[in-house]
Structures are given as C-alpha cells and as structure tokens.
Amino acid sequence: MKPAKGKAAEEEARSAVIETALAMSRSGLSPGRSGNVSVRFDTGMLITPTGMAYEDLRARDIVFVNDRGEVPAKKSRKPSSEWRFHLSAYHARPDMGAIVHTHSPHATVLACAHKAIPAFHYMVAIAGGKDIPVVPYDTFGTQELARHVAKGLFERDACLMANHGQIALGTTLERALELAREVETLAEQYYKVLTLGKPFVLGDEEMERVLKRFKSYGQNAQK
C-alpha cells in the first residue's frame, strides 16, 4: 500500500500511534510498558519508543525508522527494541500499513505453550488462513526473530510468537488493533475449550469455504 507523506500526515500518524498504544494498554491487551505499535510512513515507519509509558508519550516521542533500519533524526528517541520485526513484517507484507504487537494474556499463554490456534471456530479465518500459527522463539529485538515473524506473517495477518506474545497486521492502525483483540478473544476461547478435552477442529474444506466467504463479508463486499 502507498504510505502517507508530508508534515500534516506525519503529525496525524504520530498521534494515531499514541492513541492506538493507549487503547491497546488500557484494554488489557498489553499490560505496563509491554508491546509496541507502528504505522507505515514515507520511506519507513513510525514506531513507539523503547521503555516509555504510553501515558507519557507525546507526538515528538514517536520514532521514524527508515526502510534501511536507520533513525535519521539526531535528537530522536530510541525506537522500540522490536523495530526489526516491524520492518521485516512490512517488507513481507507491502499490502499492510500498521502493526500491533501485544503480550495479551491468553495469546501469550498459548504462545508459551507453543500451541497454534487451529480452526476450532470458523472465526480463526479472520487472520487470513486455516489457523493462527506460532512462529519459533528467538531473543527479543534480534534479526533472527524478525525473520521468523516475517515468515509467519507472509500468508497470515496475525501469528503467535513462541514464549513472547502475538502480532497483528492491518491496513490501518484501527484494523490492526481490532485484529489483535480478535486474536486474544480466540486464544481465550481455545484455552477454555482445551480444558474440556480434545477440541473438534473444522476441516480444510470447510475453512476454504469460510475464507472464500470472508472475502465478500461485511464491508469487504464493497472493495
């Protein structure tokens, strides 16, 4: 997708990143200072800074990182330690414009158990496939983790990150946050189903039908 450019668009994007980060935190998707948010902008992205409480953020604190992973502004804050996997995800998915990464409780529980979310419910298709996969673990902030995330998101709009949390993509910040909420809801439901025993998983043929119907579902029918 074509990234926004210009001074006015940048100010608006910076404010939107802060609003999304606050909404993410206040809804319980990412407690404390955990998680991070970015939006595609100009030749790179705008991303939350590392180690700052979301309530303290101002527009000037949001960090621009260019497509090469550089921070051009000399007086800029340091970007989130996870900027590498944000940038890698944008490279893998040029159709997406925003990323929300959270440590939401149930998604993180499943991620720590290395359990993907299968098609126990048809709404799993909201992430763009027949399951919500778990990508392999690597140390936070590393290029190795960035490669795992990019691979996991190549054919999905969301995935779990082993021993870490979840990450969701969207064409806009609003849609990325909405998907992160959906993933957490599905993770909670799946966790509870597992307490009852082996879940019934919908077959590939049915999920293919669901995915096809999702393409014309709701507002998608107008696109």
Return the active site residues: 82
- Gap between the Cα atoms of 88 and 99, Å rounded: 11
CB burial class (10 A; 0-12, 13-18, 19+) of residue 37? buried
Q: Which two tokens stand for residue 69?
A: 């992973």
Bridge partner list, 177: none
- Gap between the Cα atoms of 3 and 171, Å rounded: 10
DSSP SS3 for 177 = helix
CB–CB of 195/114 below 8 Å?
Answer: no
CB–CB of 99/38 below 8 Å?
Answer: yes
Q: Which residue is it, tokens 């959906």?
A: 182
- Gap between the Cα atoms of 60 and 156, Å rounded: 32
- Overall size of the chain counted in residues: 223
